[in-house]
Structure 1
Amino acid sequence: MLATLARRNLCSTPLPRRLIVHAVLRPGASPRPPPRDRTEAVRTAHFDPSTSARNLPKEPESISFQTFQERAASRTATLSDARGCVLHHDAPLHNLSPERRREEVKAQAVGGRVLMWLWETGCGGDGIFRNDHHFTNTLCSLLVEEDLEDFTWKWIEVACQEVKTRIDSTGAAYDPRELAWTGRLLGALAAAHLALAPGRLADNALERYCRALGMIEQAKAACDPYPPLVAMYVVLDRALKRPTCLPCSTRGFEAFLASQGLVNTADRVALSVAGLHLYHPTRPTAKPMLRLLQSKDPMLDTVLSGSRPSGRNQMGGELLRAAYILRCEGAEDEAAFVEAVVEASTPAVWLTRETVYRVTGTDPKLVHLTKGTPRLNPPSQLAVFRPLKIDRDTPIPAPSAAEGPSSPIPPESIQTPSGRHDVGSPHEDGGRLPHSGQ
């Protein structure tokens, strides 16, 4: 009723914006979006940057880019129209070859045009980028393919400057949540570069991470607000630890390694750095992780004894990788110590590797590690995989000679029971950092 009065301009006094937004955006208020002859009052309320996008329909109306342009020209386009336009444009592109897709994307530049509309109308920001992850990821993927992602960086710089100007003029305290949506955009950009790079090579995403680091260093030197890096960090951390990720450049990896203090609390930095050293593209080492185990690091103990099985199993997989590296370096006693910790703390991880070893007679993850890193030599002794302790289980028969040698198992197909998160979803697990143990 309130929305109808506002659209027909029958209210003599302006309605409270809160009521107008509730009436327009309330789910199920009408089977069809409001008519296109809405008044400027309703339109302004609908475009309020502070308006939450939680009440928007999950499946927006699918419209063509031409229809969206017409509505934008007549100032009747809505946030749902922008979402529907981007998703409608992206859906058929998945059926094209990479070359053909690139041509189609660059020809229309839908991502760049929608981004500029969001910027000009104030429709973007916290309301949409933090709450509609599918739209944000799709938009950033289009921007990267269109070579128009610089508009995103410029928007982030302008948003930080606007927050600084407001703080200087009003003297209000800075709330980091004001720029949380900019961090979400950075995370989506990193995910897009990872998804579009051949073989999921992380170099392009790491270059953007270094660019964000430079922006933050300048802002901190001038005591200015800056975008958060947590979402971007989560995307890259998961990508660099995937067995299918190709080795990246040493410079980008070490810049990522050196920035742990910006995205982790003080008690988590040592564990995060030790975990990343296991995946160094040219010089993987397990010594930092071994020192944490020997010194009984509180954060590591918290993860291994935490209530989340996925956190424990993920850490168990990393510790088993540390044991592999130690064996490759000839540190047999240290490797046996780490393996004992894995067997005692994460039996599911140990049982999985033990079962694979019984089937194949080798350890595919160890083979993958030594092949991918020339500096590591095959170990003289594998992990001591004892027979399964569950006697009632039927033993897994080895392939007979008549069947021929068993086919190699791809390393990426053998994972711990927890699995690994896919790349490109920084909002998974509620945005928590890896190895939280909660």
Structure 2
Amino acid sequence: MIGLAVAARAYARARWRMARLRDRAAIERHQSARLARLGWYLARDIPFYRGIDPARVGSWPIVDKATMLANFAAMNRAGVALDTVRAALARGEDRVEGHAIGHSTGTSGNRGYFLVSDAERYVWLGTLLAKALPDALWRRHRVALALPGFSRLYGAAGGGSRVRLGLFDLTEGVDAWAARFAAFAPDTIVAPPKVLRHLAERGLVARGTTAFAAAEVLDPVDVPAIRAATGLPVRQIYMATEGLFGVSCAHGTLHLAEDVVAFEWEALAASALVQPVVTDFTRRAQAMARYRMNDLLRLDPSPCPCGSALQAVAAVEGRRDDLFLIGATTVTPDVLRNALLDADPRIDDFRIVQTGPTAVAAAIPPGCDAAAVRAGLRVALTRLGADAAVTVSHGIPATDATKLRRVRRDWDHNQISAS
């Protein structure tokens, strides 16, 4: 009951902030106050940050996954060692020294490991519900969560009397829980786009269901099937084991959670995409301050019809690990995705993979125009000054990866310097 009270309080505070933060000036004042409070906490209670100037956020170190793993014990309040967390997870445990623990899916080759307090889990739950289900105080909801990794970390927070959560483990496969999912009859679903699409195509998504895509890039090819089933815009929840970063409004616009996270932006050369550096105000058990994410975002400067002043995101385009590196040219995932989809409107699934220093392989469904796809990709690459051999095959290869990455770089550019 104490946890639900924390969630209810976080819900109320989030709703109050959403009503109060109506312009950029208000958002910046709010963030400035929260950052000042966080700075003093970090300097006093987190060993890694002792010696920082709490008032000069720009002087705090920017950290990434490698830094966090190398300094894990010094970056959490309890001093829990990384080996302790790994060993507990290997034994099937999800708690260490009174903290919930978890890890990322490790799709980039190495896992991130995280711990949160129970209070933080309920704050996360309340904040998410306020943004995704603002009517939860007066309307009951049945929310199905079909998510990897962090669903175990946060799902145990449970729901309240008006929100019932159903957890569906992706590692078991959809067939293992399809009947239970149908019996649960959710009015809201949070799942990766490929799972939402699969459920929709199997007739398991009812008309009027609110569908939130999470954990993967929402590709345009997945949207029509999901929207046809629900009759509503496909919304997104932008979150990871690092935290909650954004939620779409009812219009389908993804708004960043700038009331609980401060975002800094690192520009990508010769691209409109940016890479976020995040500072989470709600995290205390483990610091999440000036953490460089691996994601690539396209921001949207247009005002949203919902009236929110929170920064809108046109798309989460992919990951920095999946930038194609061809000679001296860097090619972003959105360029390749758009070139392929523009080549043939019949394409409803695809893969584009950099397989070598100047080799790109694409896979498309049978019957689609391979010649047009090859030409389209060649034109897009040439326009950027990248010279690569492009091959196109029919048939989408099966994958057992936890996260679907339709555009990815399998070639390790470090092999050149190592050879």
- Shorter chain as denominator, the TM-score bin is under 0.3
Greater percentage in helix: 1
Q: TM-score, normalised by structure 1?
A: 0.27
Work out which of the two has the higher radius of gyration on C-alpha atoms and give 1 or 2.
1
Greater percentage in strand: 2
Q: TM-score, normalised by structure 2?
A: 0.28
